Structure 1
């Protein structure tokens, strides 16, 4: 049991070290030797858990997917409207990226074209599915205009969401993510939500930004 626990701790240490380096330098610019040095483990320990760098990338993306699902499932179980749930999901996923290197690395791996092995879905496709489902619900609940192309809006929203982080990585600290996300929602709400319901969701975007900054 003690040996199994040490092995699990070593695996977690390697994954965290790899995530920090992938997030900081990118997948292609990070070598296994870099990860061994950063994790302060032997090459034998690394190869015991991961046969190749691709396996490490996949493990990180699996953890990112699991964390995103947990955020989504938790919010799906609450008594929020579809649009509020979608907004809270985006802030929840963004909060993961602010707080930990693994979600940040997962996002960078996804934007750099790291291979995603089935049955794991590409995170952007997962997020598009969530957005499509919630926007469809929001149309039925009259929180979003009925004349929108739900699929097109879902794709654009995910691109906007991912773009705030990709651009921000080069220009500003990750701590600015709440502000960028609030700006994204302010623009989206003004374009999609009927005037009579707009104030509610603009206020929600501002509140979620404040809560994310405090957390």
Structure 2
């Protein structure tokens, strides 16, 4: 890649990262373009070379967030040696950790609650993980890991509703709060009500498996 193109790529990435920090902290309406430029060491001209408006910049952050979500989902869908519930637990735990540690994910969470991006929810991370969660639930049902008659859609929706509540609580809690553990509980409670007695007995005896060795932070 020519040096000028590489410099432009790095400048754009720095602006997006700085914008994510600002959006995560203050939301879209209150976010300051000057603060974004100061943190990224970019000029206003450089910003408007890459982004037509503040809204265009926010959409770039949303797109980056979607890629971070996709990396988390892809990492957990086919982990060898883990059953579907264990993979779902790992996936949701990583989402919680990312909300705490990954500023792009944190910004995505914040932006999709803003009126300007309300229609974006159907295209973003919650839908991506929701589809993955349903796929894992269907696999678990095929393996006989649920109690008879469990509604898979209801199972996934119960997790999603709990996660939405935890997402808002995360804004109100201290930086030391274990967001991963709170997200993991959003999986554990529905499982206690809907997983088969055989699976629950094994889980209560052994607990969750260790995290895969190749697990990497999304921060």
Shorter-normalised TM-score: what interval?
0.7 to 0.9
1:19 aligns with 2:23: no
TM superposition shift of 1:104: 0.9
Q: Distance in 2 between matches of 1:172 and 1:178?
A: 14
Preserved contact between residue 94 and residue 180 of structure 2 (Cα < 8 Å): no
Aligned to 1:67: 68
Preserved contact between residue 96 and residue 182 of structure 2 (Cα < 8 Å): no
Structure 1 residues 67 and 198: CA distance shift in structure 2, 3 A = same
Aligned to 2:99: 97
Runs of 4+ in structure 1 deviating by more than 3 angstroms, as ranges, are: 199-202
Aligned to 2:161: 159
Preserved contact between residue 72 and residue 91 of structure 2 (Cα < 8 Å): yes
Match of 2:110 among 108, 128, 141: 108
**Deviates most, 177-186 or 133-142:** 177-186
Aligned to 1:178: 180
* Structure 2 unmatched runs, 5+: none
Counterparts of 1:15-164 in structure 2, within 5 Å, are 15-79=16-80, 80-115=82-117, 121-164=123-166
What is the count of residue pairs matched by the alignment? 208
Q: Deviations over 1:107-134 (max 9, x none)?
A: 111233453888x823222222111111
TM superposition shift of 1:175: 4.4
TM superposition shift of 1:10: 0.7
* Structure 1 unmatched runs, 5+: none
Return the TM-score normalized by structure 2: 0.83
Q: Distance in 1 between matches of 2:34 and 2:92?
A: 35
Structure 1 residues 173 and 113: CA distance shift in structure 2, 3 A = farther
Where 2:178 maps in the other structure, the secondary structure is helix
